[in-house]
């Protein structure tokens, strides 16, 4: 398992946190996703054979948020 931290912009409430968490947990290979409103980060534990930080970032962006 690998771990990455993404910076998430555009979250304004706990509903946004829930949305980003659901999107990340639905991605193939994601074991755990911990999203925080402040400072706007997502710590993701994932299987590198099934996904990558770039794919996780794309999933967050598809949900309407900015990720770096």
Task: Look at residue 16 in the predicted model and tell me its pLDDT.
Answer: 97
Cβ contact 17:36 at 8 Å? yes
Please name every residue paired with 9 in a beta bridge, in sequence order, or none if there are none: 66
Q: Does domain 2-67 have CATH number 3.30.70.100?
A: yes
- Cα Rg for the chain, rounded, in angstroms? 11
Structure tokens at 4: 């990455």
Instruction: Give residue limits of the domains in the chain.
Output: 2-67
Tens-digit pLDDT string for the chain (68 aa) = 999 999 999 999 999 999 999 999 999 999 999 999 999 999 999 999 999 999 999 999 999 999 99
């Amino acid at each position: 398992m690998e771990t990455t931290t993404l910076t998430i912009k555009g979250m304004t409430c706990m509903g946004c946190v829930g949305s980003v968490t659901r999107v990340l947990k639905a991605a193939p290979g994601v074991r755990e996703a911990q999203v925080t409103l402040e400072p706007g980060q997502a710590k993701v534990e994932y299987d590198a054979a099934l996904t990558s930080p770039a794919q996780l970032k794309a999933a967050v962006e598809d949900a309407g948020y900015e990720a770096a």
